[in-house]
Amino acid sequence: MCGIVGFTGNQNAAPILLDGLKKLEYRGYDSAGIAVLGEEGIHMVKASGRIQNLVEKTQDGAALPGSTGIGHTRWATHGEPTDVNAHPHMSNDEKIAIVHNGIIENYAQLREELQAKGFQFKSDTDTEVVAHLMDLYYEGDLKKAVLKTISRLEGAYALGILCAEEKGRIIAARHAAPLIVGVGIGENYFASDVTALVAYTKNVIYLEDGEIADITPESVTVYDSLGKAQEKTVTRIAWDIAAAEKGGYDHFMLKEIMEQPNAIKSTIEPRIKDGEVVLDDFSLTDEELKNINKIMITACGSAYYAGSVGKYVIEDLCRIPVEADLASELRYRNPLVDEHTLLVVVSQSGETADTIAAMKECKARGARVLAIVNVVGSTIAKLADDVLYTWAGPEIAVATTKGYTTQVAVLDLLAVYLARRLGRLDDQRYRALVKAIEQFPSLVQRAIDLNPNLPALAEKYHGYNDIFFLGRNLDYAASMEGSLKLKEISYLHSEAYAAGELKHGTIALIEKDRPVIALACYERLFDKMMSNIKEVKARGAQVLAVALEGNRQIFAEADDVIFVPQTEPLFNTLPEVVPLQLFAYYVARANGCDIDKPKNLAKSVTVE
Ligand code: G6P
């Protein structure tokens, strides 16, 4: 959601800004713009729609000569996605240009105040107040003006600022929205995340909330909100440009699906040593562990569905009550959370606004917070007491795949680890579970290899407008993710139901030829699922079943079958979800959808 990039150096800024914005496309956006400081002041170009429009309008950047600039992809919150509302926004005298990610909550008061002082507003955005405040406070020192401006802002912001009177200088400011600084040789950068920078530098500085970075081609100085210089470490990013490119695949989503065996391997391998689960990053003492009487898992979107898998597995193995809560709900209820609660926060980006808010709420009530996060240095990683990184590498497609499966893998590891420490697993069962986890990478690869017929199945089912997913227990948790994948990238109406709920409403919608995807891998409840399949078949549904490899019974009812390899029943969701991701991918492809950038969706939802 909204991407920011900034450059200062000795080469033309515009092509670098455009390239950075392309890398940030995956975050979700509906307009884009850049501003470059040239010989005759700031030159700004904005375009609604895809970055390609901006590329064309600027002749690949050639129309904006100058070696200092800022750029932005906007995901509309306040005001429609028009050229006027696109960022950058400029002060009336065109001295200051700014880009912003986040929401300025007190913008209405500020706008009134600034209008009373004679400032003219051109857009409907909350952001424009920042450009005018900067103008109001600028007296020849950009840093001073930024500090004064941010002291007036309430809400969340990552800001990039350019001033016509300060050649070669850009300032970045961060509060509750992601922003990093890239450190190069004779040139420096800022960006919302490392994907925009990795082609240019692997050295980054993670900014903390309240900090500003004063950047020239030769220097980066970071200050706190009071203007005091801060000591910062330069971190080397572990992955390279190939990780942020398609590598021969038609879409990032397909590449990321295929990367899952490796991503899961990177996630689990360092955490299993000599047959033992070792979670060095989780510093809970025995005393603290005994003190925990409840585990709560919170997240949004697919991360929440991963958390729903975790709920079943952790509760089953640890015999501790486990709740999985949507962060957007948890943050506004009055939850029973205290120092006896372990809150597990799950997030690929580590920047999801609702997840951060729910986490802060529970932390304030005394909960111990363990985060399962993919992005190093993200807000959630910083706020948590402990972090288990998923090590999935960069995920670019908006619809998560390897992000989700690595989250599930970590939750499975966590379940086994906690159960062992709590004395709930005997040696034999523990060894069997660890062994099953060690096989996750090959299991997921087999789930891919077993189903070469998925494009054909997608051809058969892609034309239907409504699809239902059914499952029980862990199959239900997996069905929610399978249904979300299909819905978000192919725009089919798809809903997941706990199969036991079928008779409480959904069955009214089952009619001739209605596709039903029935997940029947959870063996303990296989017969129950078969009954549900019979019920929908009796009403004319076409059933695409998902069943364990070797299961022949399923053919008695199902029209089509996706087979998944066998594993420990508690870990079925991993091999089960992977063919469903592929099914969604091929359906979306058959429907001609923009798979990596589905309409209206954002990768990183940094506003509420
Ligand atoms: C967005 C993404 C989803 C993701 C969700 C939570 O909706 O499109 O793929 O599951 O946000 O994001 P997080 O980064 O917290 O896992």
Distance 2 CA to ligand 1 centre (A): 14
Strand 368-373 to 341-347 pairing: parallel
252-438 and 454-590 share one CATH topology?
A: yes
Query: Which element (helix H / strand E) includes 427?
Result: helix 427-438
Q: Residue 242: what are its φ and ψ, rounded to 5°?
A: -60, -35
Mutate to test the pocket of ligand 1, among 605, 606, 607, 608 (most ligand atoms within 8 A of CB): 605
Whether pLDDT at 549 is above 80: yes
pTM of the full predicted structure?
A: 0.81
Tens digit of each residue's pLDDT (9 = 90 or more) over 180-215: 999 999 999 999 988 899 999 999 999 999 999 999
| Cβ 326 under 6 angstroms from ligand 1 | no
| Cβ 371 under 6 angstroms from ligand 1 | no
User: Which amino acid would we find at residue 124?
Assistant: D
Mean pLDDT across 590-601: 90
Domain extent listing, the chain: 3-244, 252-438, 454-590
User: What is the residue with the minimal CA distance to atom 8 of ligand 1?
Assistant: 603
Mean pLDDT across 530-545: 95
pLDDT score recorded for residue 602: 81
User: What is the residue with the minimal CA distance to atom 2 of ligand 1?
Assistant: 603
Strands (E), 472-559: 493-498, 515-520, 542-548
Round to whole Å and give the CA distance between 519 and 573.
10
Round to whole Å and give the CA distance between 416 and 126.
47
Which tokens is 273 given?
């040593």
| Cβ 373 under 6 angstroms from ligand 1 | no
Q: Which residue numbers are catalytic?
A: 2, 603
Distance 168 CA to ligand 1 centre (A): 36
pLDDT score recorded for residue 606: 80
Round to whole Å and give the CA distance between 156 and 29.
18
Residue 396 contacts by C-beta under 8 Å, 6 or more apart in sequence?
A: 26, 195, 244, 252, 256, 596, 603
**Is CATH 3.40.640.10 the right assignment for the domain spanning 3-244?**
no
Round to whole Å and give the CA distance between 188 and 181.
8
For the segment(s) 454-590, the CATH number from 3.40.50.300, 1.10.1510.10, 3.40.50.10490, 3.40.50.11610 is 3.40.50.10490
Whether pLDDT at 222 is above 90: yes
Round to whole Å and give the CA distance between 84 and 75.
14
Tens digit of each residue's pLDDT (9 = 90 or more) over 312-340: 999 999 999 999 999 999 999 999 999 99
Mutate to test the pocket of ligand 1, among 603, 607, 608 (most ligand atoms within 8 A of CB): 603
Would you state the torsion angle of the CA atoms of residues 604, 606, 607, 608, taken in this order, to the nearest 10 degrees? 70
Fold of the 252-438 domain: Rossmann fold (3.40.50)
Residue 240's pLDDT band (cuts 50, 70, 90): low
